[in-house]
């Protein structure tokens, strides 16, 4: 039987379940990655399992989110992660070495391998031909301990690429076109697989840009074949031995097919406040701008930066625009410094930032009030930039650089001939900021360094048979994890301190929510469709857990957040009839009986709204394994009980 590339890799890693669409399967994980905003909690969870050393082929801890090190908290977290990594067999990428996805692509990613990371943009690795999936930190901790990672066996969408991109049109425009076609909900339960002759025209960094923003589709992951282009990239990284040729079988059957002619792609922009709110640059016209930010795990490769330098050469950034540039890794920054491109950027008036996530997660460079900011990032959710009324547009580096010069949104196709830029035959290799773990023998003497901001995992308990409490919050559609648990310089340092960070839970929507939930002790949240889209941060489940949330009732859930709720022991219930959303108001008293039998038997949960007398039917589809997790009170308890 002819197989898709997705099916080939998944079948090769299957350890539990069977290949039936929509059913749960467990896969062996070869590699894991964490970053510091999610990593501290992931390693606290790993320690709780009492496993002396990771059991993966490669696990890497990256420091790239909280690099501002404002106060003692960030630095304490970094010391903790570094010491855990040394003791437990994990490679440690120090602050300044770069963004996890960019560095992993350069130095560790291997075609045909499985990778999960405690960051939703882990699918960047799909540009190398990996099954790379974003997950909650606890899922990553379990995988580090040798446990399987469970997903719903996905549908596979074939995106057939033909033709070739025209000059000044970019991979960013390709994924924005896909978002325009599929929307932020269109990838749920699916893997997006890129095929066709057009694939050969795209470099590995371009492919990685496309798979990176597959996260914005809600997709499980996205993947490209591993071909001669992949081989040349790995050869340039002195990792040719990691290459293996991989592609779908001829005649493989897909669940959906989409055709995209690359030659018809034009410069696009995602308009506020959603990555699928797509318009062409020409449609938007010469819109005055205030700020440009170039970088992030989406667009910070060497090739991206060289194109930016070419556009900026001999020019000056418009006096009314602030331009910041963050190369994605130390390797990229070093090569820009050596080939003169960095000097060009500085001469033009760009502000050079550290090789880190920075403004993408609200760590500095927030725009002015109502400011229009062009960003080469992956998300433009309301308030994510750090400015509540900031107007964020997602664009390619080419659009961003020219617009920074002109002072208004600009189409780079006006620039004329495009320079011939190619992936270097050899990258500068210097891994001196990646610390190898201690040997098994030496690890016994490694001390774990804990600061006062590092608090234990919230208390959990086995599922009780009934819930009788109030609805503490009701929200609408497309609630993101940034709404639930905001990022930014003020809040990110608290990621290892759940009691403290919970004070900011949902404050974007309702400043009184944390205090109200704490006062109620137990409560339920009600949401609309696509609840929990965006980042993989499990803190969007752990903070509600700490605040006493027992269930979330929504029209539908984003994949990672639903898993994180289950992992935290919080019931993710969906309305059988979406119109019942109107039958619950904030403050209503809700009762759910017979929880244990509902979990074990039919997955139907009857909610009595004691305030208005309405009876509401909800459901929660659970596998045998996730039933046991919910009954145990969460994945950590389940793992401890079954390790």
Separation CA 295–CA 541 (nearest Å): 29
pLDDT band with cut points at 50, 70 and 90 for residue 423: confident
- Is residue 168 pLDDT above 90, yes or no? yes
User: Which of 118, 222, 502, 535 is an active site residue?
Assistant: 535
In 3D, which of 273, 169, 321, 224 has the Cα closest to residue 9? 224
Catalytic residue among 65, 104, 495, 562: 65
Exactly one of 88, 107, 537, 561 is catalytic; name it: 537
Beta strand 291-294 with 372-375: parallel, antiparallel or unpaired? Answer: parallel
Bridging pattern class, strands 24-27 and 91-93: unpaired
428 close to 338: Cβ distance less than 8 angstroms: yes
Three-state DSSP state, 104: helix
Q: Which of 119, 139, 276, 482 is catalytic?
A: 119
Residue 643 reports pLDDT greater than 70 = no
Summarize pLDDT for 80-117 with one digit per residue, the tens: 999 999 999 999 999 999 999 999 999 999 999 999 99
Q: Which of 30, 36, 64, 139 is catalytic?
A: 64
CA–CA dist 242, 234 (Å, integer)? 7
Quick: pLDDT tens for 360-383.
Answer: 988 899 999 999 999 999 999 888
* Kind and range of the H or E run holding 526: strand 523-526
H or E element that contains 31: strand 31-35
Q: What is the largest CA-CA distance in the chain?
A: 72
Active site residue 537: yes
SS3 630: helix
- Cα–Cα distance measured from residue 590 to residue 523, given in angstroms and rounded to the nearest whole number: 9
Is residue 535 part of the annotated active site? The answer reads: yes
For the chain, the C-alpha Rg in angstroms (whole number) is: 24
pLDDT above 80 for 493: yes
Judged against a pLDDT cut of 90, whether residue 536 lies above it is answered with no
The whole-number pLDDT of residue 642 equals: 78
pLDDT, one tens digit per residue, over 214-232 is 999 999 999 999 999 999 9
DSSP state of 288: B
pLDDT of residue 331: 98
What confidence tens digit (pLDDT) does each residue in 249-306 have? Answer: 999 999 999 999 999 999 999 999 999 999 999 999 999 999 999 999 999 999 999 9
Is 379 a known active-site residue? yes
CB 161 within 8 A of CB 192: no
Q: What is the mean pLDDT of residues 467-482?
A: 96
Best CA proximity match to 246, nearest among 426, 152, 110, 121: 110
Q: What is the pLDDT of residue 432?
A: 98
Percent of the chain predicted with pLDDT > 70 = 100
Query: For residue 88, what are its two tokens?
Result: 């437990």
Q: Would you give the DSSP letter of residue 71?
A: S
Q: What percent of the chain has pLDDT over 90?
A: 89
3-58 residue pLDDT tens: 999 999 999 999 999 888 889 999 999 999 999 999 999 999 999 888 999 999 99
**C-alpha distance from residue 315 to each of 347, 554, 623 (Å):** 8, 51, 59
**pLDDT value at residue 309:** 97
Full DSSP string of 471-520: EEEE--TT-BHHHHS--STTTGGGTT-HHHHGGGTTTTT-TTHHHHHHHH
Instruction: Report the 10 Å Cβ neighbour count for 464.
Output: 11
Given the residues 379, 413, 483, 562, the one annotated as active site: 379
**What is the pLDDT of the chain when averaged over all its residues?**
96
Q: Would the pLDDT of 317 be above 90?
A: yes
- Nearest C-alpha neighbor of 299 from the set 411, 212, 194, 188: 212
Rounded Cα gap, residues 12 and 107, in angstroms: 23
36 is catalytic: no
Supply the DSSP symbol for 337.
Answer: H
State the number of CA atoms in the 13 A half-sphere of 506 facing the CB: 24
Cα–Cα distance, 71 to 75 (Å, whole number): 8
Binned at pLDDT 50, 70 and 90, residue 457 comes out as confident
Give the per-residue pLDDT at 69: 79
261 Cβ partners below 8 Å, 6+ apart?
162, 163, 198
pLDDT for 97:
98
- For tokens 């310089």, name the residue: 489
Tokens of 431: 């891994």
Structure letter (DSSP) for residue 321: -
């Amino acid at each position: 039987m002819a197989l898709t590339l997705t099916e080939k890799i998944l079948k090769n890693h299957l350890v539990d379940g069977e290949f039936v669409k929509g059913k749960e399967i467990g896969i062996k994980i070869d590699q894991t990655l964490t970053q510091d905003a999610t990593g501290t909690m992931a390693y606290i969870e790993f320690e709780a399992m009492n496993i002396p050393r990771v059991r993966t082929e490669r696990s890497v801890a990256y420091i790239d989110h909280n690099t501002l090190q404002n106060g003692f908290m960030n630095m304490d977290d970094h010391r903790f992660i570094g010491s855990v990594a040394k003791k437990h067999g994990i490679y440690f990428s120090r602050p300044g070495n770069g963004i996890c996805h960019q560095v992993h692509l350069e130095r560790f990613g291997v075609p045909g391998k499985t990778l999960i990371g405690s960051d939703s943009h882990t699918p960047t690795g799909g540009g190398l031909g990996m099954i790379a999936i974003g997950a909650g930190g606890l899922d990553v901790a379990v995988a580090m301990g040798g446990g399987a990672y469970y997903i719903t066996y996905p549908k596979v969408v074939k995106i057939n690429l033909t033709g070739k991109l025209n000059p000044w049109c970019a991979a960013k425009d390709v994924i924005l076109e896909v978002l325009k076609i599929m929307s932020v909900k269109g990838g749920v339960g699916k893997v997006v697989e890129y095929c066709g002759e057009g694939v050969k025209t795209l470099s590995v960094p371009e492919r990685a840009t496309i798979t990176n923003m597959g996260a914005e589709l809600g997709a499980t992951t996205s993947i490209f074949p591993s071909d001669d282009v992949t081989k040349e990239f790995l050869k340039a990284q002195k990792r040719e031995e990691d290459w293996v040729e991989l592609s779908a079988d001829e005649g493989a059957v897909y669940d959906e097919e989409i055709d995209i002619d690359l030659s018809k792609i034009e410069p696009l922009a995602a308009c506020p406040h959603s990555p699928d709110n797509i318009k062409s640059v020409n449609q938007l016209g010469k819109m005055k701008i205030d700020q440009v930010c170039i970088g992030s795990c989406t667009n910070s490769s060497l090739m991206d930066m060289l194109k930016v330098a070419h556009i900026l050469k001999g020019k000056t950034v418009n006096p009314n625009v602030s331009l910041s540039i963050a190369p994605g890794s130390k390797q990229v920054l070093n090569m820009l410094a050596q080939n003169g491109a960095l000097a060009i950027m500085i001469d033009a008036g760009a502000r050079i930032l550290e090789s880190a996530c920075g403004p993408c997660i609200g760590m500095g460079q927030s725009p002015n009030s109502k400011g229009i900011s062009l960003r080469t990032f992956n998300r433009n959710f309301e308030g994510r930039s750090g400015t509540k009324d900031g107007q964020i547009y997602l664009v390619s580096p080419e659009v961003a650089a020219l617009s920074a010069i002109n002072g208004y949104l600009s189409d780079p196709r006006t620039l004329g001939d495009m320079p011939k830029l190619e992936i270097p035959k050899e990258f500068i290799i210097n891994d001196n900021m990646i610390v190898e773990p201690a040997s098994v023998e030496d690890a016994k003497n490694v001390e774990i360094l804990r600061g006062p901001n590092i608090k234990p995992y919230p208390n959990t308990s086995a599922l009780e048979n009934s819930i009788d409490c109030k609805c503490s919050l009701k929200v609408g559609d497309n609630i993101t994890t940034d709404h639930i648990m905001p990022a930014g310089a003020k809040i990110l340092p608290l990621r290892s301190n759940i009691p403290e960070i919970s004070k900011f839970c949902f404050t974007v929507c309702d400043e009184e929510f944390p205090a109200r939930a704490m006062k109620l002790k137990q409560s339920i949240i009600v949401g609309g469709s696509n609840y929990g889209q965006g980042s993989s941060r499990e803190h969007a489940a752990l903070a509600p857990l700490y605040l006493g949330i027992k269930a979330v009732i929504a029209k539908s859930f984003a994949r990672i957040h639903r898993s994180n709720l289950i992992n935290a022991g919080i019931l993710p219930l969906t309305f059988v009839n979406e119109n019942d959303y109107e039958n619950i108001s904030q403050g209503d008293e809700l009762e759910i009986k017979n929880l244990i039998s509902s979990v074990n038997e039919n997955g139907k949960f009857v909610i009595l709204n004691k305030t208005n007398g309405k009876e509401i039917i909800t459901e929660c589809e659970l596998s045998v394994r996730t039933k046991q997790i919910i009954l145990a009170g969460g994945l950590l308890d389940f793992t401890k009980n079954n390790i």
